[in-house]
Amino acid sequence: MEINNPTPPDRMYTDDGEMIRCKKLNIGFWNMDTSSSRTVSHGLPDITKIISITGIIIRDDNAQVYIFGGKGTFTAGTFPQLSVTYINTVSLSLVRVDGSTFDSNNFDDITMNRGFLFLWYLG
C-alpha cells in the first residue's frame, strides 16, 4: 500500500480567488526595557491590501517566544502588552506598554533580532 503525502500548497486564496501573500519582517535590534517603540520598514507598495499582522517577540535567553495575532496586539489576560499602532506607506510602529511583560531586563539585549512580523496581504 502506498501512502501519498502531498506537500502543502505554497499559495492561499480568498473565496473569490484573490491571492493571499505573507511578507516576513525582522523586527531588528530593540531594547524593549528602555525604548517603548520600534519602527520597522515594510516595503509593501499598497498598504490598503494588508489584511492581518501577526508576529513573535523573542526573550533575550531564547527560552520563550510571545505570539501576537491578527489584530496586531499581544494581550496577557485583559491587559494589552504590545501593539502595532500605525502603518504608513513606508513603515509600521510597534509599541510596548509601560509596566508590561516586555518592559523588563528579559528584553534588553541589543545584539539580537527581537522577533518577526508577518504581514498578510492581498496580491
CA nearest neighbour of 83 among 64, 107, 106, 66:
66
User: pLDDT, tens digit, for every residue of 14-69?
Assistant: 889 899 999 999 999 999 999 999 999 999 999 999 999 989 999 999 999 998 87
Q: What is the pLDDT of residues 102-117, one digit of tens each?
A: 999 999 999 999 999 9
pTM of the predicted structure, to 2 decimals: 0.84
Q: Residue 43: which region, alpha, beta or left (left: phi > 0; alpha: psi -120 to 50)?
A: left
Number of Cβ within a 10 Å radius of residue 113: 12
3-state secondary structure 47-66: HHHEEEEEEEEECCCCCCEE
